[in-house]
Amino acid sequence: MRKTLSVAICVIVSLVLLAILTRYLRPHWILATLHSLQFHAAAACVVAMAVALLIHRNLASYALLLVALLLTAHPLWMAREIAAEVTPADQSAPTFRLMSFNILSENYENAEGITRAIVSSGADVVNIMEGESLYEHLTQIATVYPYRVGCGVLMEECDQMMFSKNPIENASVRSLSNIFDNRFIMGEVTVSGRKVHVVGIHTTKPYFDNFHTMELMNAALAITATDGPLVLSGDFNASSLPPNMRMFLNSTGLKTAAFEPPTWPVRARMLGLAIDHVYVRAPLKIKSLTRMPNTYGSNHAGLIADIAITGP
Q: What's the confidence (pLDDT) of residue 91?
A: 83
Q: What's the confidence (pLDDT) of residue 223?
A: 97
Query: Of 202, 173, 164, 171, nearest to 188 (Cα)?
Result: 171
- In sequence order, the β-bridge partners of residue 232 are 199, 279
244 and 212 Cβ atoms separated by less than 8 Å: yes
Q: What's the confidence (pLDDT) of residue 85?
A: 83
Q: Where does the chain hold its CATH 3.60.10.10 domain(s)? A: 88-309
CB proximity list for 244: less than 8 A, separation 6 or greater: 27, 32, 206, 212, 213, 216, 238
Q: What phi-psi label fits residue 180: left (phi over 0), alpha (psi between -120 and 50 degrees) or beta? A: beta
Q: Taking the model in full, what pTM does it have? A: 0.94
Per-residue model confidence as pLDDT tens digits over 30-86: 889 999 999 999 999 999 999 998 888 888 889 999 999 999 999 999 999 999 888
Q: Which residues of 239-248 are buried (b: 16+ CB within 10 A; e: fewer)?
A: bbbbbbbbeb
Per-residue model confidence as pLDDT tens digits over 166-193: 999 999 999 999 999 999 999 999 998 8
C-alpha 40, offset from chain centre: 16
Mean of pLDDT over the chain? 94
CA angle 110/121/113 to nearest 5° reads 15
CB proximity list for 121: less than 8 A, separation 6 or greater: 97, 99, 304
The Cα–Cα gap between 118 and 125 comes to: 10
- In sequence order, the β-bridge partners of residue 199 are 186, 232
276 and 282 Cβ atoms separated by less than 8 Å: no
Question: Mean pLDDT, 10 residues at a time, over the chain (312 residues)?
Answer: 82 95 89 93 96 87 95 94 87 93 95 97 97 96 97 95 97 95 97 94 90 96 96 97 96 95 92 96 95 96 96 72
Is cis: bond before 265, omega within 30 of 0? yes
Fold of the domain spanning 88-309: Deoxyribonuclease I; Chain A (3.60.10)
